[in-house]
Structure 1
Amino acid sequence: MARAAKLVYASQGDVVRQAREWGFDRVRHHESLFEPPFALEDTQAYTLAGERMIVIAFRGTEPAQIRDWLSDASTPPWPGPARTGYMHYGFAEALDSVYPGVRDAIAELRDNGQTVWFTGHSLGGALAMLAGCRMYLEEPRLRADGVYTYGQPRTCDRILAAAVNKSFRDKLFRFVNNNDIVPQLPPEPAYTHADAVRYFDAKGRLHTSMPLLGTVADRARGLTADALAPASDGVRDHFIDSYIAALERNLD
């Protein structure tokens, strides 16, 4: 899933070539362009379909860009799927621009009872979680088999988060890499995370929870790991390659 989340940053031709190497014989691209003053220029995603599984991956954005975007509190919240709670306006608008195409692609390509998986990094992680949530809450028979996100920002209020926790128990995996700045935005209490966190500590070890006191100390260790550039740790930890490297170390 992490490699699929990285692939969405590639060109469409590279996506098709890699998909075929992975055994996916059909690919659909989804893209929507926005005009200024919307802070994000576009929304991109793809759907890969093979004999046994379908993967939908959403593209993220640069850390500095999403940080500026998430700090903009001038827009009102957007009602959540099936009127369940609310979500960040920008995420909702970005998802809404490509969701019909994603839904139609799943309906077209799911011709063999394939499992369905959502993934994404950064902004793409928020869109992956919300897409899986929307599909299930609006059409309960279509619950995804898994949602994997990396460096995902806070996306919604506590009501929608509670619905996600209930609907996707043991199916949602939200990875956070030590001092990654993006999962700490937008600020609480207006927005929050769903549960199911998977946390990489300063030494790259994977944990299934983030106890408050231990996490504070661990993040401090991460900041001092690079004495020459401690302030950049939050951005450095956000890159999808950092997540893939941490996953590979834990698999080894």
Structure 2
Amino acid sequence: MVMSAEEDHHSPDCDNTCLSDEYMRLEPNEVTFIDLFKFLFLKDNKKWEFIKTESLKKDKINPFDYPNEEPKFIDHKENNKKKQSSKPFEYRWIVFVCIFIQKLLLFDSKPFKYRWIVFVCIFIQKLLQFVSKPLSWAGSKFEMWLNICSRNGNISGLLLKLLRWEIIEIPETDSENYFSFIGCLDKRMELPNHIKHGDPTYYSSIAVMASKLSYENQSHVKKIVTDFWKMEFKGFYDFWNDYQDKPTTQAFIFINKNVEPELTVVAFRGTETFDADAWCTDLDLSWFDLEKIMGKGTGKAHCGFMKALGAKKGQGWPENIEEEKGEVLKKLAYYEIRKILKEVFRENDKGRFIVTGHSLGGALAVLFPAILSHHNEKDLLKRMEGVYTFGQPRVGDEEFGNFMTKMFREHEIGYHRFVYGNDIVPRLPYDDTTLMFKHFGSCILFDSSYIGDVVDDEPNKNYFSRKWFWKKIKIACKELKRSFTIAREKSDDYKEGWMLMFIRMVGLVCPGFSAHSLRDYDNSVRLGLDDVFSRHKHKLCHYN
């Protein structure tokens, strides 16, 4: 089943190129909240304009039809209408309760399950669209408050300055000293001193730091890369999303010329906490049918991620595109990054590169070589050292995973997918018979003690398992306790601030959300990765 945030109204061929005809597409802009609730419980879906699907028209199959044993709601015979309308409220309440319970009992049946997934997906996207501007405004004010506190000695120092009538430092949002919300949770920006080029953990260390830095503004990124890391800053980019009609994908590129061969790093930004557009990208669960453009055996990929990577509206993935000129320079991520990499390797034909990212950024990182393969970019693929992702969601079906595994092995590209503890994001979208998303390759899994292991898949793969509920609460309690002790046990570099401690407390109620923090991934690489590589070198040396 497929769900999509948008459809190209101007080019009907786009859907035939990009989206699978075997699955439906949804358009949240064409439905109201009231219609959504009606859709969830009413049997007839022919009037719902926000559901678009070619296969249903072609095959005359309705996945929302309930089985014959589905309970009838109320007999609508003409001779019963007056009787029903005259019944007291108690009668109507009994009917409501009975039907509601029967709906719950039918939840495992595919028709109602389909409706429920559509309902939740579209409802959240509609809600995000509704609160997009106030969410962005509130997020920017909250970030500014965190930065003001940080620049003025935290809350106690700020209050002291106010009492003394001293000047309060207020940073500019685009300054090199301004931190994003993600950055405020972990301000460590220096590369670990004990990790050197040639160490098995070198690429992972630089990848996790780049993934963390990708959430900052351009001035901040440039300062860290040039002044702290002593590397060449190539550029910071706001890439256009042709489907959302705005720049919503960010990435930066830098080159380490202090090593041989030179290493170019491409880091994609993940989902920002207060960015509704990025959350809508995550929730666009339409399938992008790769078999239509790449041939049999390539499977299907998450359409929201494909759009963010640079799929061309109305065309899909043409090998080359003409750059659109106008007031806004509409550069698409994949095409621009590919062009920059080719320019870099024309100057140094022995260079190598890696792609990395956290969360949504990890999804874009792993899809990037898939499109390179589609365009037969063998020269770039042979220069790719590896893909390093942290808290990456699932990006495709099982067939796509098999295709990617074969392609990585053919070009000897390392694929290192890091998962920390009960992080919820790598366990989404669901790996089940309804959504059919699947991870591929091995998983480098770290527990709450930052002890790592290499596993085929993370435990509790769909997160909401009842048998894991108390285990997750217990682990969240351990993580909160660790916040108060880790600095004493390790060093002051691992000291956690009050904001992160608060998020750990939220994790007691919603275990798995706090585990998505990049701080835990950075700690895992710093403290536990050496041991993982020493024990599983045979699995991690090239690809997994």
Q: TM-score range by the shorter chain?
A: 0.7 to 0.9
Matches of 1:155 and 1:40 in 2, distance apart? 22
Alignment partner of 1:182 is 2:393: no
State the match for 1:142 in structure 2: 380
C-alpha spacing 1:154/1:45, structure 2 compared with 1 (3 Å): same
Aligned pair 1:172/2:415, yes or no? yes
- Structure-2 separation of matches of 1:187 and 1:39: 28
* 2:516 alignment partner, SS class: coil
CA distances 1:124-168 after superposition (whole Å, capped 9, x unpaired)? 000001112322442123221110000000001222211221222
Partner of residue 209 from structure 1, selected from 446, 455, 461: 455
- Among 261, 266, 286, the residue aligned to 1:56: 266
Partner Cα distance (2:250, 2:225) in 1: 16
Q: Which has the larger radius of gyration?
A: 2
Q: Which consecutive unaligned segments of at least 5 residues does structure 1 have?
A: none
The question of 1:94 aligning with 2:94 is answered no
**TM-score, normalisation: structure 1:** 0.86
1:99-178 to 2 correspondence within 5 Å?
Answer: 99-110=334-345, 111-112=347-348, 113-138=350-375, 139-143=377-381, 144-169=384-409, 171-178=414-421
Question: How well do the aligned residues superpose, as a CA RMSD in angstroms?
Answer: 3.0
Aligned pair count? 250
CA contact (8 A) 2:472 2:512 kept: no
* CA distance 1:46–1:68, change in 2 (3 Å): closer
Find the counterpart in structure 1 of residue 190 from structure 2: none
Larger relative strand fraction:
1
Q: How far, CA to CA, are the matches of 1:152 and 1:118 in structure 2?
A: 13
Q: CA deviation at 1:251?
A: 4.8
The residue type equivalent to 1:117 in the other structure is I
Sequence identity, in percent?
29
Quick check: 1:42 aligned with 2:248?
yes
**Contact map agreement 2:284 2:304 (CA 8 A) in 1:** no
What SS does structure 1 have at the residue aligned with 2:337? Answer: helix
> CA 1:133–1:231 in structure 2 vs 1: closer, same or farther (change >3 Å)?
farther
**In 1, Cα distance between equivalents of 2:515 and 2:524:** 10
Deviations 1:166-205, CA, capped at 9 Å, x for gaps: 2224600000111111111111242111212101123321
Larger CA deviation: 61-70 vs 156-165: 61-70
What residue is the counterpart of 1:32 in the other structure? Answer: 239
Structure 2: runs of 5 or more not aligned: 1-206, 311-331, 478-504, 531-544
Distance 1:76 1:242, change over 3 A: same
Q: CA deviation at 1:17?
A: 1.7
- Structure 1's 44 and 23: CA in aligned 2 closer, same or farther, altered over 3 A? same
Amino acid at match of 2:249: T
Please tell me the residue identity of whatever aligns with 1:152.
Answer: Q
Amino acid at match of 1:7: L
Report the residue type matching 2:355 in the other structure. Answer: F
In 2, the alpha carbon distance for the partners of 1:184 and 1:167 equals 24
Residue by residue, what CA displacement relative to the aligned partner does 1:16-36 show, whole Å, maximum 9, x if unpaired? Answer: 122223232241222124599
| Aligned counterpart for 1:2 among listed residues 184, 208, 227 | 208
| Structure ranking higher in helix proportion | 2
User: Against the structure 1 CA distance between its residues 47 and 212, is the aligned structure 2 distance closer, same or farther, given a 3 Å change threshold?
Assistant: closer
- Assess if the C-alpha contact under 8 Å between 1:63 and 1:182 holds in 2: no
Deviations 1:86-106 (A, max 9, x none): 211110000013111100110
Contact 1:149 1:175 in 2 (8 A): yes
Whichever residue aligns with residue 18 of structure 1, its letter is I
2 CA distance for matches of 1:140 and 1:56? 18
Determine whether 1:192 maps to 2:402: no
Q: 2:229 aligns with which of 22, 28, 45?
A: 22
Q: Any conservation in 1 of the 2:241–2:307 contact (CA below 8 Å)?
A: no
2:122 alignment partner in structure 1: none
Indicate how the Cα distance of structure 1 residues 181 and 82 shifts in structure 2: closer, same or farther if over 3 A, else same: same
* Equivalent-residue separation in structure 2 for 1:174 and 1:211 (angstroms): 10
Distance 1:136 1:28, change over 3 A: farther
Which deviations, in whole Å up to 9, do the C-alpha atoms of 1:54-78 show, x marking residues without a partner? 00000001469667654454x3434
Aligned counterpart, 2:519: 241
2:299: which partner in 1?
Answer: 85
The answer to whether the 8 A contact 1:201-1:219 is kept is: no
